[in-house]
């Protein structure tokens, strides 16, 4: 029964596995170059783990596109890694959707390429699977417990940085606020002036009647992005920790 089901929908299984594999290759290729920045940071464990993981993500997408029968092992390893992150990081249960989708691709890869296919040796499949499993799970362990691996990150640095920047704009003197790009744009709209008004004239308008622009500044606080309850924010904070250290260095 299972054999008939797998064979009948073989093309659907293959398509389900190949499409996200192309996306995975694009994703890994794009983010690999910015990840090279981590090599200049002190957190060598994180940088090496990240770069190796991106290489393996690209390889996983590539071998799936090439219809290798053991590609489902790599997708399975990635599912295990995401499952570990779900229970190990703050608010990680929000990752359940991407974990389920990854598991679906794993199943699709199996039925599309591996089921009833004995082209690859079982030893080769086991070795390839263990490599992917170790890489993905070890990287997930670093993301879940960065301090244990020498990465001194709180996990909410992105939220703190973004909130601090917005609060700084909200607390600025109105005349100084309109000197910023966003402040000038808001002032032109609030005071209904010409787009080509000079900075001096706009500043004078604000000084004469600062209340409208002050209201805009206070509204900024209510539009602060809520990163705190987002597991992706936690993960990005770990990645961008060296950059934030550089930006906030006194």
Q: Give every CB contact of residue 16 below 8 A, 6+ residues apart in sequence.
A: 104, 105, 108, 112
Q: Which residue is associated with the tokens 């992706």? A: 232
Q: What is the 3-state secondary structure (H, E, C) of 203-220?
A: HHHHHHCCHHHHHHHHHH
The reported pLDDT for the residue numbered 86 is: 93
Q: What is the spatial distance between Cα 100 and Cα 79, in angstroms, rounded to a whole number? A: 8
How do the pLDDT tens digits run along the chain, 250 residues long?
556 656 666 677 778 888 999 999 998 888 887 777 777 666 677 888 888 999 999 999 998 888 787 888 899 999 999 999 999 888 889 999 999 999 999 988 888 877 666 556 677 777 888 888 899 999 999 888 888 877 776 666 566 666 667 777 777 888 787 788 778 888 888 888 777 788 888 888 878 888 888 887 777 766 655 555 678 878 877 777 766 666 666 4
pTM (predicted TM-score):
0.69
Copy the structure tokens of residue 215. Answer: 């209201």
């Amino acid at each position: 029964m299972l054999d008939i089901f797998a064979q009948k929908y073989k093309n659907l299984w293959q398509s389900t596995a190949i499409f996200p594999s192309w996306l995975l290759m694009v994703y890994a290729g794009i983010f690999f170059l910015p990840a090279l920045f981590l090599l200049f940071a002190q957190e060598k464990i994180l940088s090496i783990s990240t770069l190796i993981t991106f290489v393996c993500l690209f390889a996983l997408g590539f071998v799936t596109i090439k219809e290798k029968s053991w590609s489902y092992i790599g997708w399975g390893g990635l599912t295990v890694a995401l499952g570990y992150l779900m229970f190990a990081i703050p608010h990680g249960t929000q990752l359940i959707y991407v974990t389920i989708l990854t598991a679906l691709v794993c199943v699709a890869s199996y039925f599309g390429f591996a089921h009833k296919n004995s082209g690859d040796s079982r030893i080769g499949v086991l070795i390839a699977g263990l490599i992917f499993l170790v890489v993905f799970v070890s990287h997930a362990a670093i993301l879940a417990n960065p301090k244990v691996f020498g990465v001194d990150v709180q996990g909410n640095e992105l939220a703190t940085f973004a909130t601090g920047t917005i609060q700084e704009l909200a607390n600025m003197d109105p005349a100084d606020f309109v000197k910023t790009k966003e402040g000038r744009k808001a002032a032109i709209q609030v005071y209904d002036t010409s787009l080509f008004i000079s900075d001096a004239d706009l500043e004078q308008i604000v000084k004469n009647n600062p209340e409208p622009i002050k209201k805009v500044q206070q509204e900024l606080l209510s539009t602060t992005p809520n990163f705190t309850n987002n597991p992706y924010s936690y993960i990005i904070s770990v990645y961008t920790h060296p950059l934030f250290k550089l930006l906030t260095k006194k």
